[in-house]
Amino acid sequence: MSTYKLIIKNIIKTDINFFSLDYKEDTDIKWYIKFTFLIILDKNLDVKNKYKIFFELLNGFLIKDKNDEFIDYFCKIQKTYNILNKFIYNYKYKKSKIVVDTDMCLNKLTENGKNVICILDNKYRYLFNINDLINIIYTSLTNSYSFFSQPKSIKNPYNNLPFNKSTLYNIYFFIKFKTNYYSELLFKFFNCNFNLNNFKYLNEDLLRDCSITNYVYKTPHNTIEQEIKDIIIIFNLYCQKHMLKNRIRIHKDFPQKKLVEVMRPYLFLYCKSQYSFHPEIKTRFFSYFKSSMLRFNNFNPLFGSKQIKILYEVNKYFEKKQVGKKITFNDKFIKFFNVEKQNDLFLIDHLKYDENINFNTSNNFINYYENHDDDPDYDEEDEDDYNNDEEDYNNEEHDEEDYNNEEHDDNSLS
């Protein structure tokens, strides 16, 4: 018999046969209360059914007009049950031992330390820095495959077992009331009662954005290198189609890691324009992508080109002699996030809405792009247009002299 049923028997005294001839009515507990709780004892009293049965009996004929009396006894039973559970939990907590007392970077943690939570899991205690725990939650809830969300259960990284729901509630309340952190995904997960299916259904757009951000900014450079080259081709095809002189030509020997780090924000804009759910967002971000790439190319048309510097030395007769050459690459680029302009407009950007100012969701703040005079009126382009032209672009003759700008330095080097 469950603990909850034993508590009912001890408080309501249902073992007494009040149908016998020798029965004397208890002055404290009326017969209809006892009979009502006898009905409860015959039911399956799990967490879900307990309250369902309670509300059914509350409207039943046995305790009609006596609801307050029934509620008082039910609350007394529930309070006793909660006290007993708390006692058992505290006993287990004190008897358990701490098996992990470091964070993910192996820094020592103390149980009463700031932003440190102690979790009792399977008879052992684990100390977590709340930052590590938030990262674990984020990684689990944003799990995806090809930008399709597949959230996973949040697991204890030390035993690879999912946290139970009570632990998730403890984590949520600890973060909300004992720290200054805000975990958007965890809070939305809490609003869904930690139901993964409901969470995915209600937050599909947010999870798609997180998947795109994770892919662009957390994927190793050698994995997305081809994606970067593809968006450069798409931009060049756009310029070719609109008869613009802008082209981005990257030399084959240009450091690929440098190229990926520079172009990640532009890849984010393109991915948003292709994989977002909302058509309006796709249209806007494709316009942002084109204008940003044009701005990038206007700042340094020779970005990615190979440069050769001739090295000279001067002898004692002041005669210059070639001693070798130095190969460099033009890697000057304009910053994607115009922080200086944001700072200039910070105190007035709440006064007026400007359609020429774009919102960049990759870092959750406003990103201001400079206007481009040569930029034509942007019409929507179908992806198929680019795919049809890509082969023509790849077959064009590109003379290496167009982008291998050799620079001869006449300054002597001693």
Q: How far is CA 396 from the centre of its chain?
A: 42
What angle is formed at CA 99 by the lines to CA 94 and CA 100, rounded to 5 degrees?
A: 120
DSSP state, 161?
A: E
At residue 128, what are phi and psi to the nearest 5 degrees? Answer: -125, 135
CB 221 within 8 A of CB 215: no
State the sign of the Cα–Cα–Cα–Cα dihedral 11, 14, 16, 20. positive
Q: How big is the chain, counted in residues? A: 414
Residue ranges of the chain with per-residue pLDDT less than 70: 1, 14-28, 31, 47-48, 61-64, 338-343, 355-414
- State the Cα–Cα distance between residues 70 and 58, nearest whole angstrom: 8
pLDDT of residue 330: 85
pLDDT of residue 393: 40
Q: How far is CA 294 from CA 153, 260, 362, 387, in A?
A: 43, 18, 20, 20
pLDDT of residue 368: 33
Indicate yes or no: pTM above 0.75.
no
CB 361 within 8 A of CB 217: no
pLDDT of residue 74: 84
3-state helix/strand/coil string of 167-204: HHHHHHHHHHHHCCCCCHHHHHHHHCCCCHHHHHHHCH
What is the chain's percent helix, strand, coil content, to nearest 5? Answer: 50, 10, 40
pLDDT of residue 27: 54
- State the Cα–Cα distance between residues 38 and 336, nearest whole angstrom: 71
Per DSSP bridges, beta strands 320-329 and 306-314 are: antiparallel
pLDDT of residue 127: 95
Q: What pLDDT, in 10s, does the model give residues 88-126?
A: 888 988 899 999 999 999 999 998 899 999 999 988 999
pLDDT of residue 405: 38
What is the b/e burial string over 250-285, where b = at least 16 CB atoms within 10 angstroms of the residue's CB? bbeebeeeebbebbbbbbbbbbbbebbeeeeebebb
pLDDT of residue 53: 77
Neighbours of 72 (CB within 10 A): 11
